[in-house]
Amino acid sequence: MKIGKIRFDKPPVILAPLEDITDLPFRLLCKEQGADMVYTEFISSEGLIRDAVKSTVKMDLEEAERPVGIQIFGHDTDSMRQAAQMAATANPDLIDINFGCPVKKVVNKGAGSGILRDIPKMIEITKAVVEAVDVPVTVKTRLGWDENSKPIVEVAEQLQDVGIQALTIHGRTRSQLYRGTADWTLIGEVKKNPRMKIPIIGNGDITSGAIAKEMLERYGVDGIMIGRAAIGYPWIFSEVKHFLETGETLPPPTIEERVRVCKTHLEEEIKRKGERKGVVEMRKTYGHYFKGVSHFKPFRIELVNATTAEEIFTIFERILSAELQLVELS
């Protein structure tokens, strides 16, 4: 698979852009676990051109995470053009346009998957962004607006015609949000369309190596993107890639490994954002890091209520001690 100067010898396993999740510390953890490419959180074009601190900070990149893409979203063509040019100055490997976010506050502004109700505008914005920058431009979108409007096969052709270099498709409509099961059938239709020459990346419900292998083989996509299954679980990338290479399922990470990586994640968040903000932002991930751990529930409440790193590190030690006691009892 090739996107500009980026080349993959095997179908890549990619970290999806996730708001409030795929910041730099988490992207680096996913790279350590084998993610072939990562994306920033999506960045508002309006926020970026107004020099909003929250937007510009999201463009902080490190060499260790490459290849990395910056994802932008918006509804105004000129703002998206300017935002793309600003994003290009951060020297990403590519710029991705978010035409898939289903969140109401984004959709109501005609951005994200809201653009799926105005395909001509979608193409206009894409063309403007492609022409504004020298780095490769890609798009992430959905099948369509609702069950009665799934124009992705035709839309994919139009996006390719205005110059995008890869297309990621989430196998749901905007109306579905994240409900139900992702439908990869139309993703496969896009891939087998003889007019399509750019890489097609499939996204939606990839939660294991076996599912990843099935989607790659059944629908022939060039790569897969993992979103929600990666939240608080960067090991998904090593597990998927190991299965693709060997057909074997890796054992889940031990409690010691979960604590070690979660602690590293917290430390890096604090280093970049300060203790108060780092501690607060990590609260949403603890349930994911320790999912399936039988004795974790009371500790989760403590972790969410903790206000300092020292408190959290002490709770981590108690989680390990509780695990050791369970092992001894067994």
Residues with a known catalytic role: 101
State the DSSP code for 7. Answer: E
Structure tokens, 37: 């490419």
**DSSP letter string, 198-227:** S-EEEES---SHHHHHHHHHHH--SEEEE-
Q: Which three-class secondary structure state does DSSP give residue 177?
A: coil
17 vs 107: CA distance, rounded Å: 17
Residue 184: DSSP 8-state: -
Provide the token pair at 262: 């979660």
DSSP code of 149?
A: B
Residue closest to 229 by CA, chosen among 15, 71, 12: 15
CB 187 within 8 A of CB 169: yes
> Under a CB-based contact definition with an 8 Å cutoff, are residues 283 and 329 in contact?
no
Pairing outcome for strands 68-73 and 43-44: parallel
DSSP class of residue 112? Answer: G
